[in-house]
Chains A and B, each alone.
Chain A
């Protein structure tokens, strides 16, 4: 490997075409091939030399990234005038693209409107350098505070649970941390015995420090308490805090026990709160939840299929809880299902079994269908649609037959709308265009006519949406109003889910008004916005392919690649002919993928968590006595 790499180093020489292009750009027309070769070798050598010097500056700058200023300094070292105007602190503004068998790096040139620049308020002044102190370790123990990295990464947690009897040799990476951790508490003689032996998995301690106990108490109280603002904060903390893994067993027990008790007591509100906690735990990227699924999944399934979830089933909206829990279930299937645990198939089996049972109540029936439907269109196609006729007959019996009970009727209504909602979009894709009511009736029985109208609605909606997006795409001329597209998409998809270019989460009433976490349990959809700047006559072939591909399926992976090939082509030509670019109107397509709102909120909130150590006392760090050190108390419970 290293050998290959080295040989590659040896052979890298700038292509002679570059030499020619550069010569042309400074007005030297005909350059001999020989001189090109000689030049390129010379230039390559000098560039390598400069790069080596620049590396020195990077090392002394204590950075891992080479910056343009390093290159400048290296040039200065060689008594060469540095390049001006390439100041870039963070990254070199090249964009990479490939397409048509070529790989290109190009500048992203944005057109800036002067009036925009003048009118926009000044950006915030960058913050000044400041100094902050925290305890990295207290007598050999690293306190679990937000300033420190999570005590165990997800991989570590996984390794811990999946390889429980892994032999930890003294030469292994984890040893250091484990030793470091245990240092404060183990007695010296105990350590002496351990050393040198092959150690089995260290007994994992589930004891919590005082701070952690306080935190746990606060969080759980806030989560099920009455104050909505506090709850939002607590959930946010669960979703983002990196150091929770030690408390995870407590949380999962809290949730499963909570569900067990509250289902019996039919306390809908608390069940909702608990489900939101599950959601927050699943959102936390640092937690390895697999270990606790055996507690969490039964709790979630309970919330989906339980016969009764509230005291007054006729009035309370327990359906929303079922929907929400079903989505959680679908999400956990998606993230945690593996060939060994088979979560998805086991869950599917459970749902179908109780659904097929004739004695099943409407509430449970609803839950089963919701749970299945959330698993995706494939499941709908294979499991739900074939049973539409049977289910329709059952609904008909309740709706049109003698009134048995009000509750049954409401249940049947909900099941009906649920089926319509989920099946319509799938059927719209399955069945060919002319939607015949009679045909539907023969195929799906009682639900047929209603399905037919829903499917038709779904079709028009999809078409409308596609059109809408196309139109907005074309009218946008400035890169600024990027959000209008997604907004139009939002408004258009309030109805049943339709296949659209822009995936928009259908809003859920259950969720708190918090803007941070998106309510849909499905993975945050990436939004693509296609924009065109300075629309003009398409001049190159790439542009044509671009626009055609756009009309066919608006967002595809080919678009960005097409963009890239387009851009440098123009650049190259402008390099050869001076006056060409001015006359030709450029058309640029910029594809922006917006980060999902969940992840962005995650980043912003991560640093504001309360700390257990007051920073004022840390400011006088060196004055602290050992005994006074605020973290000293953390050791006692260990």
Chain B
């Protein structure tokens, strides 16, 4: 818990900016406030409250907060101040200003609380507790005032216009945009989709069902094809009653659609609308759209298309400005025994020695410290155990035998096929040393196989363990029960399909996340379940261990990702901000950041320390199902249902590449150990290899691009594609590079 408090204390100025001019439900804010999308109170608290997050902080703190809120409500500001100081709570947790301004805007969020529980005040404390644990200052502020109903959110739609004029308005605008200069047309066309949706919703809200239908039919065909999925949801929605409790809709309403438009184009639009007295559209633009105006050349159609597609428009430029320490942590120095013959002896002696130089090296011996790397103790990491050091030595030895890959030296691919899985294989993971493979199945089981001749053994029972000579050298060998040796083990415990699975780096634990809302920690020594981490309550789509162990992250249908430590039964951080299910989670190699991909077609990067969202990547046109960090931590690759792999520069917050070729969902991505090759595996039964070096080398990272975020993507997928390997009706759902750069792939045969 100490880490949590620290995190809250560290919340920097950025957080304050976020909280101040919070969302406003009544449309009287200007379009240029500095609000960061991620912190939008509506979205974050809607998730928090909607899913009834379990309380996280100790009970007394919860009550404390409740008292504070009560005092505040009664305008006893002095008492608030005193109590706050006494309790040592951070300033921003109850920043009065944030509280008041956000109160109005968070009506929707609070409203949902009402919908769910009915009694707002009873929920209040719970929600507050949970959000404070998540270090989400704005969330607290948002929930502080209780608003009666969801109708408040929707009431924004209630201003009446003549329903029959909607078509005219829209057509008018369409005509205008079609006739503007070419250079502005592409930019202004971005307005179509959000306008269309909001106008449609207004019609529906005001019970003009037939007009709404006619409007939809007339103009839905004009929208970009990548919005089809959303339009389908929208098309089903024809009644005011449907709008209640429709999450997609609430998201659309509570989070402003973000557009990036050049100043010239914006002026053009503004002038047109003012000339025409087209208030209807102007109102919508002001209330529901966030127009991010930039100076300079308008963007081209392809530039816009590359970045759009997400549920809530593009990311704002500010959202990606935070500095990200993407460098790698310095590896503790372990002397590599050079002679294989002396290996054993060296280890015996080396162990006590190694500990000291390692301790010193942290921080002090910063020889060639990567300027982009976070400080070694930015987040507390577990100490290396002796066994970890042995593993590191093994790793380094293997690494010396690693094959250097490249376009002329492609890796061999070994495919592990799960036979007789009857379409039930849902998740696969391999240990880093490639000795174990685990599968999660739709029948709720988790199975572990040994892929080396070494069989899986359990630890002996307690009674037997008593008989063992604990001083003997091979005690670790002796505790294992030879009788239980087998090639695979089944672990029962979940009560729903297992969707995510992850080995701990030390191979002692296995995590699995399931439809039943739990994440389970299994011991690979006893093959039993150790902990069931509850909190998500809804299906947990993915989970992953930190590369340093101890921490893990999970994300699921409740739209939040949670950071856990194995020895805490409650999450340390809650990352909230996504507008739809979190479909995949991945740790940055330095363990300081977590990337999450979502059904809202965005990727977010979260700072583990502060819990803030530091990057939002938009550009995918479908739910994201796989993520991979490059080994140097600089880049991120993501794959989605649209069959495209996108490459991102984390430091600059830019899209840097697009790899087209797959024809179906990409379920797995992996960089080779040295980062030269990116392998992608897909539902279309292929493994494809891409030249990652070239993709990243060709970058034009001049300052202009970095500053504006305007990318020019070349269509060079075919040049980068190094190989395509088709399986026999086996979707590829996991990929893994061994330490020597042999590519392992896995999937279930699908007869």
Interface residues in chain A, defined as those with a beta carbon under 8 Å from any beta carbon in chain B: 2-3, 6-7, 9-10, 41-42, 44-45, 48-49, 52, 56-57, 59-65, 67, 69, 73, 77, 89-90, 126-140, 142, 147-149, 170-172, 175-177, 179-180, 183-184, 188, 191, 195, 618-624, 626, 629, 631
Contacts and interface: CB of A to CB of B under 8 A. Distances in A.
A307 to B, nearest CB: 48
Contact of B420 (A62, A129, A184): A129
Given A6-B231, A147-B728, A73 B415 contact: no
B58 interface: no
A595 to B, nearest CB: 16
Interface of B: 213, 216-217, 220-221, 225, 228, 231-233, 235-239, 241-242, 403, 407-426, 434-435, 437, 439, 441-442, 447, 449, 451-453, 488, 496-497, 499, 515, 538-539, 541, 557, 581, 583, 599, 623, 625, 641, 661, 664-665, 667, 683, 687-688, 718-719, 721-729, 731, 733, 738, 740, 742, 744-745, 748
Contacts of B665: 59
A336 to B, nearest CB: 27
Nearest to B246: A49
Given A177-B724, A622-B451, A629-B412, A7 B233 contact: no
Contacts of B419: 127, 129-132
B143 to A, nearest CB: 23
Which 8 pairs of residues, A with B, have the shortest CB-CB distance?
Answer: A140-B410, A3-B221, A180-B723, A136-B413, A176-B724, A10-B235, A136-B415, A622-B434
A620 B451 contact: yes
A182 to B, nearest CB: 11
14 contacts: A2-B221, A7-B220, A9-B232, A45-B238, A45-B242, A60-B541, A61-B426, A90-B423, A131-B418, A176-B661, A179-B723, A621-B416, A622-B451, A622-B742
A626 B403 CA distance: 9
B519 to A, nearest CB: 15
A6 B727 CA distance: 34
Nearest to B661: A176
B417 A133 contact: yes
Given A89-B423, A131-B437, A60 B236 contact: no
A126 B515 CA distance: 25
Given A65-B423, A142-B725, A170-B718, A133 B451 contact: yes
B409 to A, nearest CB: 7
A222 to B, nearest CB: 25
B742 A621 contact: yes
A6 B228 contact: yes
B312 to A, nearest CB: 18
Most buried by B among A10, A139, A618: A10
A621 B414 contact: yes
A258 B426 CA distance: 53
Contact of A41 (B238, B410, B687, B740): B238
Contacts of A177: 724
Given A69-B442, A183-B408, A622 B220 contact: no
Contact of A128 (B420, B451, B683): B420
B415 A135 contact: yes
Given A2-B228, A56-B581, A60-B426, 15 more contacts: A10-B235, A49-B236, A57-B539, A64-B683, A77-B539, A129-B421, A135-B415, A140-B410, A172-B718, A176-B724, A183-B410, A619-B453, A622-B451, A622-B452, A624-B742
Contacts of B733: 62
A52 B233 contact: yes
Contacts, number: 213
A65 B422 CA distance: 12
B744 A621 contact: yes
Given A45-B237, A77-B557, A137-B410, A149 B727 contact: yes
Given A59-B665, A170-B718, A622-B744, A135 B416 contact: no
Contacts of A184: 410
A179 B499 CA distance: 36
A136 B688 CA distance: 11
Contacts of B661: 176
A49 B221 CA distance: 22
Nearest to B742: A622
Nearest to B664: A64
A62 B216 contact: no
A54 to B, nearest CB: 12
A180 B725 CA distance: 8
A149 B241 CA distance: 52
Given A65-B423, A149-B727, A133 B449 contact: no
Contacts of B725: 136-137, 142, 180
Contacts of A183: 407-408, 410, 722-723
B512 to A, nearest CB: 13
A65 B452 CA distance: 34
A126 B538 CA distance: 32
Contact of B415 (A2, A129, A134): A134
Contact of B451 (A10, A90, A131): A131
Contacts of B237: 45
B422 A137 contact: no
Contacts of B744: 621-622
Which residue among B232, B434, B724 has the maximum number of chain A CB atoms within 10 Å of its CB?
A: B724
Contact of B625 (A59, A135, A179): A59
Contacts of A631: 412
A2 B410 contact: no
Contacts of A62: 425-426, 667, 683, 731, 733, 748
Nearest to B420: A127
